[in-house]
């Protein structure tokens, strides 16, 4: 899924982009313990390493894969985190998780529902009166549940060229909503499905209205601190990173890591994290540590969807994906320069997190086929 603006960078960004240096061979940058099992069979790490190396051979500058099997956690890397220096990919580095943020946002909304501070059946107008009322869009007919489920009918603001005309611009949430509501709704609320980042910008605004606090404060208090996510943050305007990071690339635009204001993504895609922190959050969430049973049932009430060729069952800010060994729960995410895929079994014993630092492969059939093989191996192999 094209989760955050990976298709709409403008020529303004191209003028500021750095020229990419040559990438060292994948084998020189690989960093995994690929010990063979007794008897000569390849261990999981070796199999995942092959898949990660293939993605680098396909063109990804760097790849990081985290896997869990019960109590065993392993990391496999290939390629580089920085083309200019040749620094190898490193699982400890920060990256932009893109729309994986939506699961964090949905979790906070569902916590507020459990605390009776809002209802999923509340309308957008109940919390944001008059904001969604242009060109046939009607906030009095759209519920919070429909926002989280991507069934509001609202258009996505991200394809609009104005969003990336000045990548460093600070956007206010209401400005992004205004862009989305310039067009009529795609359908009556609740009657169909479309992936729209607009829904999650609204969800973030509702969190702030319901709590009286910035969303970042609620993320920190409810999720980051309780789970010990020491490397996870929610920047809203600063395009930099709070520590060492993976450099992200977008085709001929080059290194776009710190050129784009996260204000254009916010609660739809603004979180910065590491593979281990993302995995810890998902494991806690899907094993019931963050939400009561009623709200977990809401999150896991899914409908089958096909978005940009990705077939999955979409719930409330979380998706269920079928593998040969069972279902994985999670969300994928894209932000210019970054792409991430997350999978966690319902019992938390099996996980795979895959991230790479190039945005140009959304419609590359060879890369996507190899990515699917990597996900199957990492989650089930």
pLDDT given for residue 6 in this prediction: 53
Q: What pLDDT is recorded for position 24?
A: 33
> 27 an active-site residue?
no
pLDDT over threshold 80, residue 10 = no
Beta strands in the chain (DSSP E): 62-69, 72-82, 87-88, 95-96, 272-273, 303-307, 310-314, 319-323, 326-330, 333-335, 338-344, 350-356
Which residues have C-beta within 8 Å of that of residue 141, sequence separation ≥ 6? Answer: 123, 188, 189
pLDDT (0 to 100) of residue 263: 98
Residues 57-105: tens digit of each pLDDT? 999 999 999 999 999 999 999 999 999 999 999 999 999 999 999 999 9
Confirm if 131 and 177 have CB atoms less than 8 A apart: yes
Q: Which two tokens stand for residue 3?
A: 């989760």
More confident residue, 375 or 27: 375
In tens, the pLDDT along 206-247 reads 999 999 999 999 999 999 999 999 999 999 999 999 999 999
Q: Are strands 87-88 and 95-96 parallel, antiparallel or unpaired?
A: unpaired
DSSP 322: E
Confidence of residue 41 (pLDDT cuts 50, 70, 90): low
Q: For position 42, what pLDDT does the model report? A: 74
Distance CA 124, CA 147 (A): 9
DSSP 154: P
pLDDT of residue 177 exceeding 90: yes
Written as one string, the DSSP assignment of 159-193 is: TSTHHHHSTTPPPPHHHHHHHHTTS--SSSTTSS-
Work out the average pLDDT over 16-27: 34
Q: Is 62 exposed, middle or buried (0-12, 13-18, 19+ CB in 10 A)?
A: buried
Residues 347-356 have a mean pLDDT of: 98
Label residue 4 by pLDDT band (50, 70, 90): low
Q: Within its chain, how far is the Cα of 377 from the centroid?
A: 21
Q: Does the structure show a pLDDT above 50 at 14?
A: no
Distance in angstroms (rounded) separating the CA atoms of residues 97 and 338: 7
Phi, psi for 207 (deg, rounded to 5): -55, -45
* Marked catalytic residue, from 30, 81, 99, 264: 99
Q: Which residues pair with 79 in a beta bridge?
A: 62
Distance separating alpha carbons of residues 76 and 91, to the nearest angstrom: 8
Question: Does the pLDDT of residue 12 top 80, yes or no?
Answer: no
Residue 374 confidence (pLDDT) above 60: yes
CB 369 within 8 A of CB 304: no
Confidence at residue 9, expressed as pLDDT on a 0 to 100 scale: 53
Higher model confidence: residue 22 or residue 52?
Answer: 52
């Amino acid at each position: 899924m094209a989760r955050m603006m990976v298709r709409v960078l403008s020529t303004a960004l191209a003028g500021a982009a750095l020229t990419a240096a040559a990438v060292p061979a994948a084998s020189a940058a690989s960093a995994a313990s690929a010990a063979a099992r007794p008897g000569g069979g390849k261990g999981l790490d070796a199999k995942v390493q092959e898949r990660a190396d293939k993605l680098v051979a396909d063109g990804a500058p760097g790849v990081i894969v985290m896997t869990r099997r019960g109590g065993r956690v392993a990391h496999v890397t290939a390629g580089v985190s920085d083309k200019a220096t040749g620094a190898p990919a490193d699982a400890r580095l920060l990256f932009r998780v893109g729309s994986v943020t939506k699961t964090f946002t949905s979790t906070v909304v569902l916590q507020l529902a459990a605390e009776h501070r809002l209802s999923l059946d509340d309308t957008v107008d109940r919390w944001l009166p008059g904001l969604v009322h242009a060109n046939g869009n009607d906030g009095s007919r759209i519920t919070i549940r429909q926002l989280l489920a991507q069934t509001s009918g609202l258009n996505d603001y991200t394809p609009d060229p104005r969003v990336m005309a000045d990548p460093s611009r600070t956007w206010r949430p209401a400005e992004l909503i205004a862009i989305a509501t310039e067009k009529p709704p795609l359908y009556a609320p609740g009657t169909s499905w479309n992936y729209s980042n607009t829904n999650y910008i609204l969800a973030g605004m509702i969190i702030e209205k319901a709590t009286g606090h910035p969303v970042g404060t609620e993320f920190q208090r409810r999720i980051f601190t309780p789970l010990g996510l020491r490397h996870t943050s929610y920047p809203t305007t600063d395009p930099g990173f709070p520590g060492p990071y993976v450099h992200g690339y977008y085709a001929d635009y080059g290194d776009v890591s710190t050129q784009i204001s996260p204000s254009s993504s916010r609660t739809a895609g603004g979180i910065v994290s590491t593979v281990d922190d993302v995995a810890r959050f998902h494991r806690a969430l899907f094993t019931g540590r963050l939400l009561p049973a009623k709200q977990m049932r809401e999150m896991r009430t899914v409908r089958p969807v096909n978005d940009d060729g990705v077939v999955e069952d979409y719930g409330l800010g979380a998706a269920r994906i079928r593998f040969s060994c069972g279902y994985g729960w999670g969300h994928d995410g894209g932000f210019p320069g970054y792409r991430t895929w997350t999978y966690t079994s319902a019992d938390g014993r099996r996980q795979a997190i895959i991230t790479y630092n190039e945005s140009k492969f959304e419609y590359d059939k060879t890369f996507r086929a190899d990515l699917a093989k990597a996900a199957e191996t990492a989650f089930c192999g």
